[in-house]
Structure 1
Amino acid sequence: MNGMVLSVSRGIARVTGAALGPYQTAVVRIGFGATWLLFLLRELPHRGELYGPDGPWGHDLAEQLIAGNGAFTALMWSDGRAWFEAVYALALLSSLLLLLGWRTRTMSVLFMVGVLSLQNRSVFMGDGGDNVLHLMSIYLVLTRCGRVWSLDARRERRAVAARARGERVVDRVGPVLWSVSGFTLLTVTLAGRLDGDWFVPALLWAVWVSLGLWWVVGRGAEGGQPRILLDVVTNVVHNGALVVIMAEACLIYATAGWYKIQGSRWQDGTAVYYPLQLDYFSPWPALSDALAAGGTMVMLITYGTVAVQVAFPFTLFNRRVKNVLLAVMMTEHAVIAVTLGLPFFSLAMIAADAVFLPTSFLRRLGDRAARARGRLPGRRRPTGAPTGDGDGDGRTAVVPGPRTKTGRGGAAGADAGDGQGPGHARVGFRP
């Protein structure tokens, strides 16, 4: 009985004491930010036909659909060309800044607004990768995905060093972003633009209020009870969202695999052959013909795809087998991107798979990136500086626990709580 109680208490302390999986959530943030950014850049010449006033799915048709399903999209607030261009530009900018990890909490919200606005405006333009991006953009808002490999982490580290030297650190950008976003949110709400489904407006207001609380608490006494409580709540929300992301990825593969089993073409091992014969999915006809020419190869790929997708959720209990299947699935998506011409679907799935990557691998990857960046012309590492994998600058990454202390003015405003504090505990997350 005492052993069970001890295990439960350790589990609670682990969930509430730190934001788990900092490297995994950082990779998911970077992956989906890059996927959406590259997609928007590729479709920049065709943006009006896809999501804007030049498309066959006109504004009046979109209004009828939104009135029925209550989906959130800022593009319904006006049918003018200037408003559409502004929303598209906001989606581009927010995805870039989220990728870089600048004011991550605010950018994750704007990233979600951009994704939902464009996708819900023209729901018939998406595919499976867009559905994954749609969901992950919401989940990322709930995570502390800027703990490592971000400009936020670098800024907070510099602020900690400045405080250690006795300097006063004041964050002016955060409160300005918080004030502007609050004024905009209040204006839109009073104008009745958020009268559809309740979830997105509630999430927007909850995040805005929580960021205000972070700023107020950050100006109080160091190590006070309010700061500890907010850290615990934020860690619980982050860890819960991380579990949801992992469960979502497992559900995608499990349902895809079991549905494939029911198809006759997957049962007889010929399903992969048919998309290779479609011109729409053959950007490299010679490569498609070479793959389709071998009956044995087609059969192995068909059966192997089903087996990997069905088995993957069950391999999470064995780390070595999971890592092998994870490498196989990522390779499969990379092949799909090339042979079938579906790069953004593949990038979205690879970004979702990245949540299962082992921490040791990601830290080694960070070490190599830091060393490579240090060898760039014009960059010199100070003598004796350690190498590490924190945010790509050669320092060891740390994750703050619930008793992290920050000085006045630190991590205030729009991304409060996304940086690294001076009090920390190393967390080894092994998904």
Structure 2
Amino acid sequence: MRSALARAVAKATGQALGPYQSAVVRIGFAATWLFFLLREFPHRHELYGPDGPWSWQLAERLIASNRAFTVLMWSDSTLWFETVYALSLLASVLLVLGWRTRAASVLFMIGVLSLQNRSVFMGDGGDNVIHLMAVYLVLTRCAQVWSLDARRARLRGSATAGAAGPVLWALLGAGFAYGVLSGHLGALWLVLFGTLWTGTALWWLADRYEPGGERRATLDVLANLLHNAGMLVITAEVCLIYATAGWYKIQGSRWQDGTALYYPLSLDYFTPWPWLSELVASSGVVVMLLTYGTVLVQVAFPFTLFNRRVKNVLLAVMMLEHAGIAVLLGLPFFSLAMIAADAVFLPTGLLVWVGARVAAAWGRVPLRGAAPRPALSPFPGAAPRTPLLGAPPDPRASNAGEAASGTGP
């Protein structure tokens, strides 16, 4: 018992688990938010800006009561809104690429929370998931693979090389200081941003002046613990979303009689392809199977984490279900957000295989024969220990869901 506990502690402190899964979650959510902001760019003023039905005065009154975080309430000028929207776009791009990922993840979180909390009635279930995951991603070392940070670490031996990182954190620190001095940051956000800024500064100093010292090793252990805790929270959050959705559906009479799917297929708002919706809705058997299948998969999925093969099958079914929702009901960003959340359970072997094929298709890394040239590949298989990225990821390492269930990839 003690030896098993010791092994578990050593694993949790010695490496950041699920490097490939965290990279997919990072890319998935950042890309989803980026595509959403780009699609809504012509309507940004009506959604989150000065022309929206939820006025700045109404938002100010609501935020004064619920203490939600949004930098959009620091000023009611149009220029400030445009700046925040542009920075949100930039942060999404940087997070997809994995450039200065820790700072980019903080900027991404600020952008997501600022826009969504400015107009709380504009979102749906997908926005709620992005809202949560934007916070959790800050805790993770999600750029160990498939990132520009990992590439820089291989080329220069450290991801802190260059002046871009300190400059970026100095700008974030200046914004943090302004929020404190102006009284816009509450106690919780004051502690959160202060801890992030201070921890990053300590990490940079230790990595620059004591790369092999005890302080650096201690910070590495703490970062691994924080990452693994974040991945565990993401895993639990996804299970909770499906379990809650499934059990609430069971209580609905339309889900019980197998007709629930028929009604959204008959609404103009959810029928981007009327002929396809009519085709599906015209078959009572198909509607019943899809309705019952949705409930069954959502209720059963959290229990399948104890069986790797069954979990992988249901995971594929859920991803196909969300793809169907995107096409049938016209909810692409909700579906992309849920697929990105589901990716935390993808097998490591599959992700390594996909990454190798994508790299080969990119034409930079041969699968066989000559030694690969990782410096030229945007899809590396591993990276050395780097600041805010962690130790070299082991392709054999289990993902978060498999680690929780005790099974391997």
TM-score per shorter chain, which class? over 0.9
State the 1:161 CA deviation.
9.6
1:58 to 2:33 alignment = no
1:408 is matched with none
2:382 is matched with 397
Letter in 2 for 1:117: S
State the 1:120 CA deviation.
0.2
Whether the aligned pair in 2 keeps the contact of 1:136 and 1:245 (CA below 8 Å) is yes
State the 1:221 CA deviation.
3.2
1:274 is matched with 263
Alignment of 1:187-198 (within 5 A): 187-195=178-186, 198=187
Distance 2:195 2:358 in 1: 36
Distance 1:15 1:300 in 2: 42
Whether the aligned pair in 1 keeps the contact of 2:21 and 2:344 (CA below 8 Å) is yes
CA deviations on 1:308-356 (whole Å, 9 max, x unpaired) are: 0000000000000000000000000000000100000000000000000
Secondary structure (helix, strand or coil) at the match of 2:356 reads helix
2:405 is matched with none
Letter in 2 for 1:107: A
1:177 is matched with 168
Whether the aligned pair in 1 keeps the contact of 2:70 and 2:118 (CA below 8 Å) is yes
Alignment of 1:89-238 (within 5 A): 89-160=86-157, 170-195=161-186, 198-238=187-227
Whether the aligned pair in 2 keeps the contact of 1:385 and 1:394 (CA below 8 Å) is no
1:30 to 2:27 alignment = yes
Whether the aligned pair in 1 keeps the contact of 2:273 and 2:328 (CA below 8 Å) is yes
Letter in 2 for 1:156: A
1:428 is matched with 397
Q: 1:394 to 1:130 in 2, by over 3 A?
A: closer
1:295 to 2:284 alignment = yes
Letter in 1 for 2:53: P
Distance 1:382 1:425 in 2: 20
Distance 2:148 2:379 in 1: 14
Distance 1:108 1:192 in 2: 24
CA deviations on 1:161-204 (whole Å, 9 max, x unpaired) are: 99xxxxxx952111111222212211221111113xx3333221
Secondary structure (helix, strand or coil) at the match of 1:82 reads helix
Q: 1:191 to 1:368 in 2, by over 3 A?
A: same
Distance 1:318 1:25 in 2: 21
Q: 1:61 to 1:303 in 2, by over 3 A?
A: same
Q: 1:426 to 1:342 in 2, by over 3 A?
A: closer
Distance 2:88 2:338 in 1: 20
Q: 1:399 to 1:252 in 2, by over 3 A?
A: farther
Distance 1:391 1:255 in 2: 44
1:342 is matched with 331
TM-score, scaled to structure 2: 0.93
State the 1:380 CA deviation.
9.1
Distance 2:335 2:161 in 1: 42
Pairwise CA RMSD of aligned residues? 2.2
1:405 is matched with none
2:39 is matched with 42
Alignment of 1:69-84 (within 5 A): 69-84=66-81
- Determine what percentage of the aligned residue pairs are the same residue: 62
Letter in 2 for 1:428: A
TM-score, scaled to structure 1: 0.89
Whether the aligned pair in 2 keeps the contact of 1:371 and 1:387 (CA below 8 Å) is no
Whether the aligned pair in 2 keeps the contact of 1:157 and 1:419 (CA below 8 Å) is no
Secondary structure (helix, strand or coil) at the match of 1:271 reads coil
- Structure 1 residue ranges without an equivalent (≥5): 163-168, 401-410
Q: 1:369 to 1:240 in 2, by over 3 A?
A: same
Query: How many residues are treated as equivalent by the alignment?
Result: 400
Alignment of 1:250-399 (within 5 A): 250-374=239-363, 384-386=370-372, 392-393=377-378, 395-398=380-383
Letter in 2 for 1:286: W
Secondary structure (helix, strand or coil) at the match of 1:229 reads helix
Q: 1:129 to 1:306 in 2, by over 3 A?
A: same
State the 1:398 CA deviation.
4.5
Letter in 2 for 1:99: V
Secondary structure (helix, strand or coil) at the match of 2:261 reads helix
Letter in 2 for 1:418: L
